[in-house]
């Protein structure tokens, strides 16, 4: 990060002194997103000495230009190449082409459509068990008792590593907190995980592999020479870091919108094939990955703004996904809106989310089971968001699930 005064010298880039990691902004990010889009194509966030973009077209441009906007400085706020980095780099999302191209190709094979199809049956069975339990209770917290219960069983089963399920949530939260500033939220999360950090280190080693899952396939690919020797473990870690909390956040957000919009739920009941569209629409509106960063690889012009070398640029995906220039009536949830491949909640460009088909498969299985068996989802309390630096995710969503008549 650079000093605020030097970074904006000789430039007309507007300065915002808002803290995007303040709890009130995380609770209700839309006023900040609006200000970010309105202020200009690029702004300077004075509190952290970084640039930020929130308009759809500019965000898209940055994410597609991996030559001028590097990932190797880290996709979080701090530069992982410099002293004070809060975490170790990801072996896939924090490397640039051509190294990235090779790693990505190897990992793509591990989760090919053929491999994923094999998981559909067990995901559907798991969804059935979760919905059985929820319907028996009627009144549930849809985040903890429905979505977390499903994702923790389904995805961690497919990942295939030995680690207590309860640890996944705290470790996932730690990871997304490490992508933000060294603030109170980050420190609280580090204290919580301190007792389980050794388990975490062990979880992505060969001895923790449960046969049949993605982890085993990653180590097999390493043995075939598709990953550099000794890097299979950190590839497993990248799935563990990126695949659990994001999906919980995305499916939780979908259920929130469906509970708040009964007419949209009716449309799904009439046409269950729309569940994937509902998921994409929900992650457009409540983008789980709030912000991802790049680093400028030299001085670069972006929409008439001259950006300095070696500066972080925050791409606020949630702001871009509600840009009225791109999405008419952007705050409305509509399962008829076809936004898959258009919204940037799953990134775009060479680093676009490699796990998106897994996330969509999970969403399809649990939402499909709910649509099949639930007549109404009634909100019985206010949805509450968790405070996590780089992730927008619900803590709780109290609902009553009313079963369809037998
Ligand atoms: C709703 C669920 C998900 C959301 C919102 C999400 C979001 C994202 C975003 C925004 C990126 C781009 C990062 C960048 O450009 O720097 C990304 C990349 C990535 N995601 Fe996801 N993700 C989800 C699910 C998953 C799952 C289930 C997995 C693993 C199985 C996964 C693994 C990854 C990996 C490894 C990358 C890095 C890809 C690369 O750099 O080439 N994600 N994800």
Residue extents of the structural domains in the chain: 4-403
Q: Is the CB of 337 inside a 6 Å radius of any atom of ligand 1?
A: no
Closest to 70 (Cα-Cα) out of 343, 344, 313: 313
* pLDDT score of 11: 64
Asked if residues 323 and 55 have their Cβ atoms less than 8 Å apart, the reply is yes
Does ligand 1 have an atom closer than 6 angstroms to the CB of 104?
Answer: yes
Question: What is the mean pLDDT, run by run of 10 residues, along the chain of 406 residues?
Answer: 43 92 97 98 96 98 98 95 78 94 94 90 97 98 98 92 89 94 96 92 90 94 93 91 94 98 98 97 98 97 93 98 98 95 97 96 98 98 97 98 93
What ligand 1 atom has the least distance to the C-alpha of 104?
41
Query: DSSP letters of 321-385?
Result: TT-TTTSSSTT---TT---TTTS-TT--STTS-TTHHHHHHHHHHHHHHHHHHEEEEEE-S--EE
Q: What is the per-residue pLDDT for 291?
A: 98
Ligand 1: which atom is nearest the Cα of residue 349? 15
Distances (CA, A) of 189 to 86, 193, 249: 13, 6, 18
Assess whether the C-beta atom of 93 lies below 6 angstroms from ligand 1: yes
Give residue 115 CA to ligand 1 midpoint distance, Å: 18
φ and ψ of 354, to 5 deg: -75, -20
Q: Ramachandran region of residue 376, left (φ > 0), alpha (ψ -120 to 50) or beta?
A: beta
As a whole number of angstroms, the distance between CA 292 and CA 76 comes to: 6
Residue 288 Cβ inside 6 Å of ligand 1? The answer reads yes
Residue 175 near ligand 1, beta carbon < 6 Å:
no
**Token pair in block for residue 178:** 């490490």
Q: Which two tokens stand for residue 127?
A: 């969804």
Report DSSP letters for 166-202, one per residue.
HHHHHHHHHHHHHTS-SSHHHHHHHHHHGGGHHHHHH
Instruction: Measure the CA–CA gap between 237 and 203, rounded to whole angstroms.
Output: 8
User: 315 forms bridges with which residues in the sheet?
Assistant: 53, 292
Looking at the DSSP bridge assignments, the partners of residue 391 are 289, 388
CA nearest ligand 1 atom 37, residue: 93
What DSSP string runs through 386-405? EEETTEEEEEE-EEEEEEPP
Compute the distance from residue 346 Cα to the ligand 1 centre, in Å: 6
Fold of 4-403: Cytochrome p450 (1.10.630)
> What confidence score (pLDDT) does residue 10 get?
42
Structure tokens at 203: 């979880």
């Amino acid at each position: 990060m650079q000093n605020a005064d030097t970074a904006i010298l000789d430039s007309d880039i507007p300065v915002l002194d808002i803290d995007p990691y303040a709890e009130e902004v995380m609770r209700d990010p839309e006023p900040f997103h609006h200000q970010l889009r309105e202020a200009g194509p690029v702004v300077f966030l004075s509190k952290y000495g970084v640039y930020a973009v929130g308009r759809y077209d500019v965000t898209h441009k940055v994410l597609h230009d991996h030559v001028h906007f590097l990932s190797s400085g880290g996709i979080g706020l701090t530069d992982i190449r410099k002293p004070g980095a809060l975490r170790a780099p990801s072996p896939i999302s924090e490397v640039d082409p051509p190294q990235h191209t090779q790693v990505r190709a190897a990992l793509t094979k591990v989760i090919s459509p053929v491999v994923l199809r094999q998981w559909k049956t067990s995901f559907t069975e798991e969804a059935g068990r979760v919905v059985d339990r929820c319907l028996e209770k009627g009144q549930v917290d849809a985040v903890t008792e429905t979505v977390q219960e499903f994702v923790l069983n389904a995805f961690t089963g497919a990942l295939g590593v030995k680690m207590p399920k309860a640890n996944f949530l705290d470790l996932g939260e730690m990871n997304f907190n490490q992508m933000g500033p060294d603030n109170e939220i980050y420190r609280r999360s580090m204290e919580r995980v301190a007792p389980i950090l050794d388990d975490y280190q062990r979880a992505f080693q060969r001895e923790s592999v449960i046969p049949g899952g993605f982890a085993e396939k990653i180590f097999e690919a390493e043995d075939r020479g598709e990953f550099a020797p000794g890097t299979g473990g950190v590839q497993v870690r990248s799935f563990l870091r990126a695949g659990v909390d994001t999906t919980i956040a995305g499916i939780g957000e979908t259920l929130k919108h469906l509970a708040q919009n009964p007419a949209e739920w009716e449309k799904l009941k009439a046409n269950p094939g729309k569940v994937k569209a509902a998921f994409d629409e929900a992650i457009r509106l409540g983008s789980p990955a709030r912000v991802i960063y790049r680093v400028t690889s030299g001085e670069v012009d972006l929409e008439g703004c001259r950006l300095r070398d070696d500066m972080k640029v925050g791409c606020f995906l949630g702001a871009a996904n509600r840009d009225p220039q791109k999405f008419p009536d952007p705050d409305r949830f509509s399962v008829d809106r076809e936004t898959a491949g258009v919204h940037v909640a799953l990134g775009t460009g060479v680093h676009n989310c490699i796990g998106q088909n897994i996330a969509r498969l999970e969403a399809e299985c649990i939402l499909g089971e709910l649509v099949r068996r639930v007549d109404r989802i009634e909100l019985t309390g206010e949805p509450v968001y968790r405070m996590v630096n780089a992730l927008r995710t619900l803590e709780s969503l109290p609902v009553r699930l009313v079963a369809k008549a037998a």
